[in-house]
């Protein structure tokens, strides 16, 4: 299996433009369906700070996007978003769920990207030390170890994506999926299967989780926020937002990814 070592903007600049609207619509429906599946399990309220980001940019003739963030009694921050211009071959979609501190189940991170080649990411974002806490690793990462290795062996069309930013590499768990690939029908079906199965697995973890003692929840909530903010602010792909939109809007979109302008309270009790 080969490896991709380029920045996202390099991949965009070096690839001929193509209309990816059809795949974009397919992926938007996929993430919308997964978000609805999650909403069936949790009580979610749209944060008012993102209400006017339902549609931004120029949907009729240029780059545009949508960002909706939610919170609830068990959900600290859920982001469902997309940004780009599918008619010219670039679009980035996100569905990420950050749990409240009542349980230590990993957060759910997923993203889909077209430049116009395909890229996908899905991971269980750790809430603890995977080396120092062997039981935590055994609960949430050991079960995915063999399937992760099987995927690398059985899917030669998928190229491991290595970020040129060490911080982003450090944010991935040992069983993260982070691959570029030709967006053929079999590969698109594979991505949909992997994302769906990981969401379903994550929901079973939530239902089986034991509560975190109340005295430990503030520290866990503080750690969660620091990780979420760092990932959002240090993401090298933010440069694509700056290409499309003015700096003020790009900065606001980044803040929305971690909840910098949130109005709903965090579930820290």
Q: What is the pLDDT of residue 90?
A: 92
Residue 176, both tokens: 């993260």
Q: Which long-range contacts (CB under 8 A, 24 or more apart) does 161-169 make?
A: 161/3, 161/4, 161/119, 161/121, 162/3, 162/4, 162/5, 163/236, 164/5, 164/6, 164/7, 164/236, 165/234, 165/236, 167/230, 167/234, 168/231, 168/234, 168/235, 168/236
pLDDT tens digits for 136-178? 999 999 999 999 999 999 999 999 999 888 999 999 999 999 9
Could you list the beta-strand ranges (E) of 158-257: 159-161, 177-181
Q: What is the pLDDT of residue 241?
A: 82
Task: Answer yes or no: is 231 within a domain.
Answer: yes
Residue with tokens 């003692």: 213
Task: Answer yes or no: is 263 within a domain.
Answer: no
C-alpha 221/C-alpha 95 separation (Å) is: 20
Torsion angle (degrees, nearest 10) of CA 14, 16, 21, 24: -30
> Per the structure, how many domains does the chain have?
1
Which residue range(s) make up the domain with 137? 8-258
Task: Answer yes or no: is 113 within a domain.
Answer: yes
Q: What is the pLDDT of residue 236?
A: 86
- Run of H or E residues at 151: helix 145-154
Task: Answer yes or no: is 155 within a domain.
Answer: yes
Q: What is the pLDDT of residue 9?
A: 61
Count of Cβ atoms closer than 10 Å to residue 59 Cβ? 12
- Which CATH number characterizes residue 104's domain? 3.40.1500.20
Task: Answer yes or no: is 268 within a domain.
Answer: no
Task: Answer yes or no: is 265 within a domain.
Answer: no
Task: Answer yes or no: is 237 within a domain.
Answer: yes
Task: Answer yes or no: is 108 within a domain.
Answer: yes
All residue ranges of the chain with pLDDT < 70 are 1-16, 269
């Amino acid at each position: 299996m080969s490896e991709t070592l380029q920045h996202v903007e390099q991949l965009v600049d070096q690839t001929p433009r193509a209309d990816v609207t059809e795949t974009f619509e397919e992926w938007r429906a996929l993430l919308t369906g997964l978000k609805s599946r999650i909403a069936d399990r949790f009580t979610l309220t749209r944060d008012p700070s993102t209400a006017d980001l339902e549609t931004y940019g120029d949907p009729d003739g240029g780059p545009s996007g949508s960002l909706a963030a939610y919170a609830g009694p068990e959900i600290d921050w859920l982001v469902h978003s997309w940004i780009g211009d599918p008619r010219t071959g670039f679009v980035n979609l996100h569905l990420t769920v950050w749990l409240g501190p009542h349980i230590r189940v990993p957060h759910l991170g997923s993203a889909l990207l077209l430049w116009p080649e395909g890229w996908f990411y899905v991971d269980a974002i750790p809430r603890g030390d995977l080396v120092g806490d062997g039981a935590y690793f055994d609960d949430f990462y050991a079960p995915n170890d063999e399937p992760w290795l099987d995927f690398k062996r059985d899917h030669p069309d998928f190229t491991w994506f290595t970020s040129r930013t060490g911080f982003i590499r450090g944010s991935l768990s040992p069983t993260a999926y982070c691959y570029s690939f030709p967006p053929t029908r079999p590969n698109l079906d594979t991505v949909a299967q992997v994302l769906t199965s990981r969401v379903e697995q994550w929901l079973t973890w939530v239902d089986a989780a034991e509560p975190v003692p109340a005295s430990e929840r503030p520290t866990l909530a503080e750690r969660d926020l620091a990780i979420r903010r760092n990932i959002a602010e240090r993401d090298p792909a933010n440069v694509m937002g700056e290409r499309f939109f003015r700096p003020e809007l790009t900065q606001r979109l980044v803040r929305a990814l971690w909840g910098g302008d949130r109005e709903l309270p965090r579930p820290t009790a």
